[in-house]
Amino acid sequence: MAWVVLLIASAVTAAVGILLLVDWRWLRHLPALRVAPAATDSAPPQRVSIIIPARNEEASIARCLDGALRQTASNASNIEVIVVDDGSTDATPHILGEYAARYPQMRVVQGRPLPPGWIGKCNACQHGSEFAAGQWLLFLDADTEAGPNLVANMLTTTRQHQLDVLSVFPLNHLGSISERLILPIFWRLAFTVFPAIKHWNPIMPARSALAVGQCLMFRAEAYRAVGGHAAVRNKVLEDVEFAQVMRRAGYRLAVVAGLDDIAVRMYQNFAQVRQGLAKHAHAGQRLSGWRAYWGMFSNALLSVVPVCALALVLIGTQWGWLDTLSNMALVVSGLGYALSLAYWLRWYRQLFRLSVSRSLGLALLAPLSVLAHMSITGLGVLRVASKRGGMWKGRAVEG
């Protein structure tokens, strides 16, 4: 029994160490937006259409519009902002009207009725694209806040790497405790299942392709060549599916971090976190297959399993199972737990820019966070499998 416990502790520690080394490497060299050169750059100006679908976004739409309208790119005069009011019933239309009256480069478009077989966001994005005159189409979610150099830096990145599609992972603002506990776990799962951001490869296999729909830019010709959002009209994970459509069509795509250039607060409370992640669960599992299970298992391996291994050793030491191996088992299992804490500390610090103290606190709570995320995901899959679906912003959503 003593040797079995020691072998388990050793295997867990080795696995955590390997995952730590692998992810530490790509986190250290995280692909990021290229900084735009000075205004003396001789590249010809390119017109960019920023398209923002908005449905009941009174709490965030002003920040989003402020960011979209303050771009300081050298071709700022070639930027237009198109907002699709997708049937809002709150104060969103009033806010949009005030901004449109002040900014001539902004246009408000009334959303069209939702056709059968369409997801609401895809319908709004497709409708907005029909009014766009830009060479590039930049789709921003209404809960994002763009920095003044976002467009310039995105154009620089696409030009330097000859990209047709560029998606940017924003800095996530985590307000409530539920956001801090669960969203970083969700993003680790996403980056494990769809590892596009881990390696710079514009011609990646389609199955690895990922896009972050909060900030997603297409060359207009490429977007229209595949049919625009009609190509993913009924997809809950429309951003990931769109990235894979573009790669299968042969277009060059990249996903980069833009933590200095765009921020987002995806959800405001636990109810929104639960609804938002649950609606993605079944679609993500269907799209990724066995990789979804590996992603969930690796999250557990980095959090729940080291705690269980350490607890097993402590119990064995207390009850006399380990005898002379107790000290060795304690050292090995303690090292595994320490590596787990180091992993999550780096994760929270690097991708979410949390303070050391807050990151350490969340690292200690990582097992609880992973179990909570698993519960939300599992219930979401069961809900869709039972044909009950879900709701998001007043509309029924299927997986």
Tens digits of residue pLDDT in 247-257: 999 999 999 99
Shared domain for 210 and 324, answered yes or no, is no
Rounded (10°) angle between helices 290-301 and 270-288? 130
Exposure string of 241-261, with b = 16+ CB inside 10 Å and e = fewer, is bbbbbbbeeebbbbbbbbbeb
Query: CA separation (Å) from 243 to 82, 223, 232, 380?
Result: 22, 11, 10, 23
Rounded (10°) angle between helices 356-364 and 366-385? 60
Shared domain for 204 and 325, answered yes or no, is no
Q: What pLDDT is recorded for position 319?
A: 77
Phi, psi of 259 (to 5 degrees): -65, -20
Residues with Cβ within 8 Å of 317's Cβ and at least 6 positions away in sequence, in order, are: 326, 329, 330
Shared domain for 392 and 307, answered yes or no, is yes
Burial class of residue 115 in the structure, from the number of CB atoms within 10 Å of its CB (0-12 exposed, 13-18 middle, 19+ buried): exposed
Q: What pLDDT is recorded for position 224?
A: 97
Shared domain for 158 and 236, answered yes or no, is yes
Which amino acid is present at 315?
A: I
49 forms bridges with which residues in the sheet? Answer: 80, 137
Query: CA separation (Å) from 106 to 97, 144, 198, 261, 311?
Result: 10, 17, 36, 21, 59
Residue 276, domain member (yes or no)? no
Q: What pLDDT is recorded for position 40?
A: 44
Shared domain for 251 and 306, answered yes or no, is no
| pTM of the shown model | 0.90
Residue 80, domain member (yes or no)? yes
Shared domain for 174 and 313, answered yes or no, is no
Estimate to the nearest angstrom the gap between the alpha carbon of 367 and the chain centroid. 21
Q: How many domains does the chain have?
A: 2
Residues 52/84, Cβ–Cβ less than 8 Å: yes
Shared domain for 108 and 170, answered yes or no, is yes
Alpha helices in the chain (DSSP H): 2-28, 61-69, 92-102, 120-129, 150-161, 177-193, 220-225, 238-248, 270-288, 290-301, 304-319, 326-352, 356-364, 366-385
Shared domain for 359 and 261, answered yes or no, is no
Give the separation between CA 274 and CA 159, rounded to whole angstroms. Answer: 39
Residue 263, domain member (yes or no)? yes
Residue 273, domain member (yes or no)? no
Task: Point out the residues of the chain with pLDDT beneath 70.
Answer: 1, 36-44, 73-77, 321, 324, 383-399
Q: What pLDDT is recorded for position 113?
A: 93
Residue 295, domain member (yes or no)? yes
Residue 274, domain member (yes or no)? no
Shared domain for 20 and 53, answered yes or no, is no
Shared domain for 146 and 54, answered yes or no, is yes
Residues 59/268, Cβ–Cβ less than 8 Å: yes
Shared domain for 56 and 180, answered yes or no, is yes
Residues 235/143, Cβ–Cβ less than 8 Å: no
Shared domain for 81 and 170, answered yes or no, is yes
Q: What pLDDT is recorded for position 78?
A: 87
Q: What pLDDT is recorded for position 386?
A: 61
- State the pairing for strand pair 165-169/215-219: antiparallel
Give the separation between CA 205 and CA 341, rounded to whole angstroms. Answer: 33
Domain boundary residue, one of 215, 235, 268: 268
Ramachandran sector of residue 25 (left: φ over 0; alpha: ψ -120 to 50; beta: rest) = alpha
Closest by alpha carbon to 217, among 166, 182, 168, 253? Answer: 166
Range of the domain at 144: 31-37+44-187+195-268
